[in-house]
């Protein structure tokens, strides 16, 4: 018995790790490498004759082009002249310099990450520290923006912040405005915050829930002021998830593409805009070089962050939960300044999150002349009952989306747990491994799509047979690869904080390693695990780039794919109406799913 257990103990973890790596290699590293290798330049001449001049030529060309790197291009064109140049610049009175496309992309991404924190952190505070009716549901719904396709967010934002939008209508009603914010930097930053603030809120709320109230109380008992107790006890536990979320927000905003062009236009371009254009015109060397630089930047940032995180002392998370304050507690208390701030925040959050979503719902029942119409939903019903070939029907799309998402959870959650366990084993290598394994969030979706196309979809010759891998299983695998880093990023900081003695006690009482993991460790990190699960679900439901390539014919299309088909459909005229109707369906289905996930998942954590 004990031998068998030890054997399974020794085998389970390596087997799971091997399975994780295999999936990653097949649906991620190999396809992506098929694109990236073009960035290496003339490897043939190097291997055959040792000529290194052509090596990394595409990357060098990008770095040496002032359009991409601004003043930094001197580093690559005439590095010897840089010190003199810097001195001349200092002597000249330190004028503002530009860093080209990369510089602007990083700048807007940094602003977007800040805005995401500014919008998301107060949300986490409210959800973690106050009790009110619907709090749990609201927590579940925070991720909804995450799944919305950019074309719909553009519709919602135009309807909210445009010349004739809701905000200007409201401002006009009180004699203010109109404000002209579309097609400018702030609206892009707000749109990125719309997508990424949920990351901040959800990650931080999960960590805040895990703060041990006894620690706070003992700090207070030892004479610490509430502020001091917060700074010394709570804040250290919130910083890792907060910085994780900020990092993810930065990386996503850095690689943001459709929303930038739809709301800001080409005058506010990101690297990804150029990357996409280069893929479209099949200038794959330049595309690969841009993608490599983007990914390298993201991975270096991720690694630096992980190094920092490893130094953070995270406290044990097994002391139960702090009680929440009631948000509404008698009329007199409403005048409490803290509550006033909360309500002020609620107004801002409503404008940024609620209005675009509500506008989207309103658009789905508004005809071209402004009147009420049900024709877009009738369009969906007509698709559903159509017998015509090639019709994209809404119900199969909903079914496929949900099935793929559940499949994704079944694969991504174990993958994420495995990678988290690797990451928390300690040492610099485990951090490096986690950084490398988080590559799926650091590679542009355009590149992943192209890589999948020319490998899995086209097929490869194996033993004289052309083997292709498309269809539902490939879709689930691709979704799982995109999703598991969210499980890992939620889980790792919390896992690191678990007291090893608890697990050791379970093991010494005879539990196998797997059993100890499932019955002791994971319940201790239930809140972050649940948050990661919800994000994995969201990633799967919202995924488009890979799905459209791997969906064979019309049998495995999902809600975003159907929506994209309806965007191009002109049978009701050139209208986004059918797409907004499908978008509303997507919204309702995913919102309901998140509530269910949290309810079911909440039981696991007890």
Partner 1 sequence: MKRRAFLEKAGLGAVAATALAGCTGSQQAGDGSASTDSDTSADGDTPTDGATTGTTASGTPSGTLRVATYSSFTGEGTAGNWLKSAFEAEYPATTVEFTTPENGVNKYILQQQKGAPIDADLYVGLNTGELVRTDRELDSSLFASIESDVANVSEVKDSLRIDPDGRAVPYDTGYISLVYNANEVEAPGTFDALTTDEYEGDLIVQNAQQSDPGRAFLLWTIDAKGEDGYLDYWEKLLANGTTVLSDWEPAYQAYMNDEAPIVVSYSTDQVYYHGEGVDIQKHQVGFLNDQAYANPEAVAVFADTDTPDLARRFVNFALSPEAQAEIAVRNVQFPAVAGVDPGEEFSKYAYEPEQPVTFTYEELSGNVDRWIEDWARTVADA
CB of 264 to partner 1, least distance (A): 9
By CB under 8 A, residue 164 contacts partner 1: yes
- Cα 422 versus chain centre, distance: 22
Q: What is the DSSP string of 490-532?
A: HHHHHHHTS-HHHHHHHHHTT--HHHHIIIIIHHHTHHHHHHH
Task: Report the chain's C-alpha Rg in angstroms.
Answer: 25
Which residue lies nearer to partner 1 by CB, 391 or 508?
Answer: 391
Any contact of residue 382 with partner 1 (CB under 8 A)? yes
Is residue 103 close enough to count as binding partner 1 by CB under 8 A? no
Nearest-angstrom CA–CA distance, 511 and 506: 6
Contact 558, 404 (CB under 8 A): yes
| Smaller CB separation from partner 1, 450 or 491 | 450
∠ at Cα 79 (74, 84), nearest 5°? 85
Among 23, 32, 255, 262, binds partner 1 (CB under 8 A): 262
Binding partner 1 (rule: CB under 8 A), the pick from 80, 266, 335, 462 is 266
Residues with Cβ within 8 Å of 453's Cβ and at least 6 positions away in sequence, in order, are 549
- Among positive and negative, which fits the CA dihedral 549, 555, 558, 559? positive
Residue 576 interacts with partner 1 (CB under 8 A): yes or no:
yes
Identity of the residue, 288 or 525, whose beta carbon is nearer to partner 1 in the bound complex: 288
Comparing CA positions, the residue from 511, 263, 309 lying closest to residue 420 is 309
Would you count residue 570 as binding partner 1 (CB under 8 A)?
Answer: yes
Q: Positive or negative CA dihedral for 508, 509, 510, 511?
A: negative
Among 22, 280, 374, 519, binds partner 1 (CB under 8 A): 280
Does a cis peptide bond (omega within 30 degrees of 0) precede residue 178? Answer: yes
* Near partner 1 by CB under 8 A: residue from 453, 469, 473, 517: 453
- Is 332 a residue that touches partner 1 (CB under 8 A)? no
131 or 283: whose CB is closer to partner 1? 283
For the chain, the straight-line distance linking the first and the last C-alpha, in angstroms and rounded, comes to 31
What 3-state DSSP class applies to 571? strand
Q: Please classify residue 57 by burial: count the beta carbons closer than 10 Å to its beta carbon, then call 0-12 exposed, 13-18 middle and 19+ buried.
A: middle
If the CB atoms of residues 134 and 574 are measured against partner 1, the closer one turns out to be 574
Q: Is 422 in the site for partner 1 (CB under 8 A)?
A: no
Contact between 182 and partner 1 per CB under 8 A: yes
Q: Is 48 in the site for partner 1 (CB under 8 A)?
A: no
Binding residue for partner 1 (CB under 8 A) from 26, 548, 589, 591?
Answer: 548
Counting contacts by CB under 8 A, is residue 369 touching partner 1?
Answer: yes
Minimal distance, residue 351 CB to partner 1, in Å:
18
Binding mask 113-152 for partner 1 (x = CB under 8 A): --------------------------------------x-
Residue 198 touches partner 1, criterion: CB under 8 A: no
Q: What are phi and psi of 573, to 5 degrees?
A: 90, 175
* Placement of tokens 């490939």 in the chain: 474
Binding letters toward partner 1, positions 305-324, x by CB under 8 A: --------------------
How many residues touch partner 1 (CB under 8 A)?
A: 59
Q: Which of 386, 508, 519, 555 forms a contact with partner 1 (CB under 8 A)?
A: 386
Can you spell out the DSSP letters for 426-468? -SHHHHHHHHHHTGGGTS-HHHHHHHHIIIIIT-EEETTEEE-
C-alpha 354: how far from its chain's center? Answer: 20
Binding footprint of partner 1 on the chain (CB under 8 A): 67, 101, 151, 154-155, 158-159, 162-165, 182-183, 258, 261-263, 265-267, 269, 273-274, 276-277, 280-283, 368-369, 382-383, 386, 388-392, 449-450, 453-454, 458-459, 466, 548-549, 553, 564-565, 567-571, 573-574, 576
């Amino acid at each position: 018995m004990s031998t068998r257990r030890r054997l399974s103990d020794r085998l389970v973890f390596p087997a799971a790790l091997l399975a994780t790596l295999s999936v990653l290699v097949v649906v991620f590293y190999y396809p992506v490498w098929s694109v990236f290798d073009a960035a290496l330049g003339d490897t043939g001449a190097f291997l055959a004759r040792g000529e290194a001049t052509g090596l990394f030529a595409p990357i060098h060309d990008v770095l040496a082009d002032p359009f991409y790197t601004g003043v930094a291009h001197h580093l690559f064109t005439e590095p010897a002249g840089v010190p003199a140049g810097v001195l001349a610049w200092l002597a000249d009175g330190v004028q503002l310099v530009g860093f080209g496309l990369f510089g602007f992309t990083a700048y807007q991404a940094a602003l977007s990450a800040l805005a995401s924190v500014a919008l998301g952190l107060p949300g986490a505070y409210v959800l973690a520290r106050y009790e009110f009716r619907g709090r749990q549901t609201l927590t579940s719904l925070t991720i909804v923006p995450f799944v919305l396709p950019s074309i719909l967010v553009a519709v919602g934002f135009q309807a909210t912040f445009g010349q004739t939008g809701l905000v200007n209508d409201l401002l006009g009603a009180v004699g203010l405005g109109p404000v002209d914010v579309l097609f400018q930097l702030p609206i892009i930053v707000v749109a990125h915050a719309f997508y990424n603030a949920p990351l901040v809120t959800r990650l931080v709320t999960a960590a805040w829930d895990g703060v041990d109230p006894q620690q706070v109380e003992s700090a207070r008992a030892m004479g610490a002021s509430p502020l001091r107790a917060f700074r010394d006890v709570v804040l250290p536990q919130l910083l890792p998830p907060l910085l994780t979320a900020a990092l993810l927000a930065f990386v996503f905003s850095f690689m943001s593409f459709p929303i930038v062009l739809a709301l800001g236009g080409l005058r506010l371009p990101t690297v990804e805009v150029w990357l996409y254009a280069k893929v479209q015109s099949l200038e794959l060397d330049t595309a690969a070089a841009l993608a490599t630089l983007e990914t390298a930047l993201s991975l270096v940032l991720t690694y630096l962050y992980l190094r920092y995180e490893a130094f953070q002392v995270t406290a044990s998370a097994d002391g139960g939960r702090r009680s929440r304050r009631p948000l509404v507690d008698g009329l007199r208390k409403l005048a409490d300044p803290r509550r006033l701030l909360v309500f002020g925040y609620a107004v801002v959050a409503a404008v940024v999150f609620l209005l675009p979503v509500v506008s989207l719902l309103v658009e789905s029942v508004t005809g071209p002349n402004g009147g009420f119409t049900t024709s877009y939903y009738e369009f969906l019903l007509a698709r559903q009952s159509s017998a015509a070939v090639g019709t994209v029907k809404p119900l199969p799309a909903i079914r496929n989306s949900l099935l793929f998402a559940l499949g994704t959870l079944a694969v991504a959650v174990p993958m994420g747990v495995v990678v988290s366990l690797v990451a928390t084993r300690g040492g610099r290598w485990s951090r490096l491994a986690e950084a490398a394994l988080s590559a799926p969030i650091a590679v542009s979706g355009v590149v992943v799509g192209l890589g999948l196309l020319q490998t899995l979809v086209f097929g490869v010759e194996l033993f004289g047979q052309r083997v292709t891998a498309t269809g539902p299983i490939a879709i689930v695998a691709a979704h799982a690869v995109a999703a598991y880093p969210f499980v890992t990023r939620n889980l790792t900081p919390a896992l690191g904080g678990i007291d090893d003695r608890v697990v050791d006690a379970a093991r010494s009482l005879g539990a196998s390693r797997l059993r100890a993991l499932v019955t002791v460790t994971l319940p201790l990190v239930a809140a972050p695990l649940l948050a990661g699960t919800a994000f994995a679900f969201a990633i799967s439901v919202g995924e488009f780039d890979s799905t459209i390539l791997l969906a064979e014919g019309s049998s495995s299309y999902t809600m975003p794919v159907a929506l994209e088909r309806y965007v191009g459909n002109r049978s009701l005229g050139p209208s986004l109406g059918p797409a907004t109707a499908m978008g509303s369906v997507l919204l309702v289905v995913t919102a309901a799913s998140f509530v269910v996930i949290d309810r079911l998942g909440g039981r696991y954590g007890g």
